Amino acid sequence: MVKSPRAKGPRTVTRATINDVAREANVAIKTVSRVLNNEANVRPATRERVLHAIKALNYSPNLAARGLAGSKSFLIGLLYDNPSPHYMNGVQIGALARCRAEGFHLLVEVCTPETKNVTQQILTMIAQTRVDGVILTPPVSDNEAVLEALRRDGMPYVAIAPPKLSDVPLCVHMDDLRAAYDMTTYLLKLGHRRIGFIKGHPQHGAASLRYNGYREALSDHGIKFERTLVKQGYFSFESGVDCANAILQGSALPTAIFAANDDMAAGAMAVAHQRGLSIPGDLSIAGFDDTPVASLTWPGLTTIRQPIVEMAAGAADLLLATIKERHHAGTPAVALARRFQHEIVLRASTAVPRT
Amino acid sequence: MVKSPRAKGPRTVTRATINDVAREANVAIKTVSRVLNNEANVRPATRERVLHAIKALNYSPNLAARGLAGSKSFLIGLLYDNPSPHYMNGVQIGALARCRAEGFHLLVEVCTPETKNVTQQILTMIAQTRVDGVILTPPVSDNEAVLEALRRDGMPYVAIAPPKLSDVPLCVHMDDLRAAYDMTTYLLKLGHRRIGFIKGHPQHGAASLRYNGYREALSDHGIKFERTLVKQGYFSFESGVDCANAILQGSALPTAIFAANDDMAAGAMAVAHQRGLSIPGDLSIAGFDDTPVASLTWPGLTTIRQPIVEMAAGAADLLLATIKERHHAGTPAVALARRFQHEIVLRASTAVPRT
DNA sequence: TTGTAAGCGTTATCAA
DNA sequence: TTGATAACGCTTACAA
């Protein structure tokens, strides 16, 4: 290995440019550019020669130069506010995989609603970086002002799990209502008749869908809805504790509790343990999201898996397709909403009621 | 604001350029550039005029153009492999905050060791994006080949928690040994004499430091080390379950178990519950990292908090300072390792032993 | 203190 | 099928 004599010099290596490649391959830079961009009208032999020179010189095109000259920056912005680490991680993995495959890079930006105008923050970011498109994750995808600004700016964007599908031209989502319906039905089929429900944060779009799914399943199976079995939570562990305590303090106890997310379900589990209720013997508990905590509780938590990675990859695909299309011509992209399938993950926290 | 007649056109808005600003302020573009870069030798009145024009035109400099013309891209690369979502999230929050404050953007890239040569992946990314520096998170910061390639390339980089401080010119870290020492001492002071330990992944640098801290504390307090109380885990919940079972199957049970991370501690808690051991009555359990799960277990897990966000912010600071310095002149940056303080987070999983 | 002119490494235009 | 040459929007000499 070469040891650098001093570690200070600003640049140790000089990178080859398109001119070097052109010289090496004995063609004009325009030809190299054509090969780089997979354009037609390049004789196979010439293409080979260029490709060879590229390899020989270890050449990579300069993104900044491409961005300046052309219309594409090969940059995708990923906007997020404050979702769970697990969610954000999944989104990044999925989006990154697709971006890399298409030669794009991911620019991550947090929106800080407290500090400043989110819309202005985003617009500034776009103006500076000239990203080719942006991916919006909740709760940014819920922000009407942001959507409107993006639309007006003409910036392609895709929303992950937006509250209203009709609001956005491009989105990926999951059927939260159906998923909650399925979980409730599963509990009913086990034999549960009194099923408690801990609602999610009232501001969060998906939360009410999950609640509706619970109610519809109850209704479809002829089970009377009981107001005392439902409590308003806020997606946090602590709110799960509070709600579970409230639900379990009545006289007629439920045999199962379904929480609108895993953190609240974990809270409910803690309460059950505290009250000496065995899970799932005395009480079955189900969550939603399949976050890491679902496999770290005791017993393991039955929950619903959102295919986050796949959804994010799908979002990136939609966005990248739009970007390319737009570049080839002003084809007015049709609104596209891609739905992803949920999955019930069965663990040990649910079972047939004891009685 | 201009309303777009149709939502299809590639660009709906035209952005102001430095020329527009110069014209508006009635100065040369060079003067605008000086204001933009906070250079000296601009009369206050002139500066005001330029600033005013910038605001009036809603101008933001084009990063690509700046990158092409100058030597800086205002891009920082964040490399990661597969750390926990919680860890990565903290790193991003911290790094992003500092980058934004300094006008830099974060380019996130995953390294996929399986697919290809990691070093080559990184080098290609650098060649394309011309990032001004990179932040390495474990386990990428453990990769010698990557470090060597970066050094040779002359790319400034900062490592978060590298295994050997001497390997890197810039890094932030935490004293894992001391932290484990402190936790063990805390348990000893509670009165525990038989303390089990679940080791972390043998490949992970910090894991052995944590183990050493445990042993040193034992030794310093005159407690005999017992081989049967220590088991080799792999940082996963399942390995925690296995190790806890192994440790608790002996005849002389420990009154406490200290796991090298929270996931394994959660595994130990599950085992305790299964065996009917009450926590902390029969068995105290402590973890390491203060991941979200530590507050979602029942009872809450006593653990050690790593100041991830602060460390990442510190890493970004170090990197940005180096970048600026280097740009001002070839000042040979001295090696800098910044240490961050850990903190024991007391929850309900530890207490005075019952006996 | 300010301005002029020459790039930076690409893509796009238009001619050959 | 190729190739000159002009942008792209900025920074960096170098003048004034």
Q: Give per-residue pLDDT as tens, B245-260.
A: 999 998 889 999 999 9
Quote the CA–CA distance of B90 and B73 in Å, as a whole number: 24
Please give, rounded to a whole number of angstroms, the shortest distance from the CA of B261 to a CA of chain A. 13
Q: Which pLDDT value is given to residue B252?
A: 87
One-letter amino acid identity for B8? K
Beta strands B256-259; B284-286: pairing state: parallel
Pick the CATH number of A176-306 from 1.20.58.2240, 3.90.1150.10, 3.40.50.2300, 3.90.226.10: 3.40.50.2300
- Higher per-residue pLDDT: B15 or A196: A196
Q: In terms of CATH, what superfamily is B18-61? A: lambda repressor-like DNA-binding domains (1.10.260.40)
User: Quick one: CA torsion of B213, B216, B222, B224, rounded to 10 degrees?
Assistant: 80
Question: Closest Cα to residue A256, out of A183, A200, A207?
Answer: A183
Distance A135 CA to D6 C1' (A): 35
Whether a cis peptide bond, with omega within 30° of 0, leads into A254 is: no
Provide the pLDDT for residue B203: 84
CB atoms within 10 A of CB B33: 18
pLDDT of residue B44: 92
pLDDT band of A10, cuts 50, 70, 90: very low
Residue A287 has pLDDT above 90, yes or no: yes
Could you write out the three-class secondary structure of A241-296? HHHHHHHCCCCCCCCEEEECCHHHHHHHHHHHHHCCCCCCCCCEEECCECCHHHHC
User: Residue A329 — very low, low, confident or very high, per pLDDT cuts 50/70/90?
Assistant: low
Contact A107 B107 (CB under 8 A): yes
pLDDT over 70 percentage in chain B? 93
Mean pLDDT score across all residues of chain A:
91
Report whether pLDDT(B217) > 50. yes
Q: Does at least one atom of strand D sit less than 7 Å from the CB of A40?
A: yes
Q: For tokens 């379950």, what's the residue?
A: B241
Give me the pLDDT at residue A12, please. 55
Looking at residue B332, its pLDDT comes to 54
Q: Residue A242: is its pLDDT beyond 90?
A: yes
Contact A129 B153 (CB under 8 A): no
CA-to-C1' span, A17 to D11 (A): 19
Residue B333: the pLDDT is 61
Asked whether the predicted pLDDT for residue A216 surpasses 60, the reply is yes
Question: In chain B, which ranges are continuous DSSP H helix?
Answer: 18-25, 29-36, 44-57, 63-69, 85-101, 118-129, 144-153, 176-190, 205-220, 237-247, 262-274, 308-328
Task: Looking at the complex, report in whole angstroms how far the Cα of residue B205 sits from the nearest Cα belonging to chain A.
Answer: 23
- Tell me the one-letter amino acid at B116: K
Residue B328 pLDDT greater than 70, yes or no: no
Position with higher pLDDT, B172 vs B116: B172
Q: What contacts B354, CB < 8 A, 6 or more positions away?
A: B255, B281, B282
Q: pLDDT averaged over chain B?
A: 91
Which chain C positions have some atom within 7 A of a protein CB? 1-13
Same topology between domain A75-173+321-335 and domain A176-306: yes
**Degrees to nearest 5, angle at CA B233 with B230 and B235:** 135
The better pLDDT of the pair B52, B326 is held by B52
Q: For strand D, is any atom closer than 7 Å to the CB of A30?
A: yes
- Quote the tokens at residue A51: 């490709």
> Any idea which fold A75-173+321-335 has?
Rossmann fold (3.40.50)
pLDDT tier, A9 (very low <50, low <70, confident <90, very high otherwise): very low
CA of B29 to C1' of C5 (A): 12
- Alpha-carbon distance of A42 to A35, in angstroms, equals 7
pLDDT digits (tens, 9 = 90+) for A142-154: 888 999 999 999 9
Interatomic CA–C1' length for residue B72 and nucleotide D5, angstroms: 27
pLDDT at B6 exceeding the cut of 50: no
Structure confidence at residue A326 (pLDDT):
76
Query: Is A8 in contact with B330 (Cβ distance < 8 A)?
Result: yes
Residue B252: exposure state from Cβ atoms within 10 A (0-12, 13-18, ≥19) = exposed
Residues of A in contact with B60 (CB under 8 A): 124, 127-128
Tally the residues of chain A. Answer: 355
Does pLDDT of A335 surpass 50? yes
Domain ranges of chain A: 18-61, 75-173+321-335, 176-306
pLDDT greater than 90 at residue A117: no
* Res B1 pLDDT > 50: no
Indicate yes or no: CB of B293 within 8 angstroms of CB of A293.
Answer: yes
**Per-residue confidence band for A17, with pLDDT thresholds at 50, 70 and 90:** very high
A205 pLDDT tier (thresholds 50, 70, 90): confident
A309-313, B274-278, B293-297, B333-337: which range is least confident on average? B333-337
Whole-number pLDDT of residue B9:
42
Q: What is the mean pLDDT of residues B154-170?
A: 90
Contact B241, B266 (CB under 8 A): no
Number of Cβ within 10 Å of residue B69's Cβ equals 12
Residues B65-79: tens digit of each pLDDT: 999 998 889 999 999
Q: Which nucleotide is nearest to A30 (CA to C1')?
A: D3
User: With contacts defined as CB-CB under 8 Å, which chain B residues touch A326?
Assistant: 8, 10
**Can you give the pTM of this predicted structure?**
0.92
pLDDT greater than 50 at residue B5: no
| B43 vs A4: CA distance, rounded Å | 44
Alpha-carbon span A261 to A266, nearest angstrom: 9
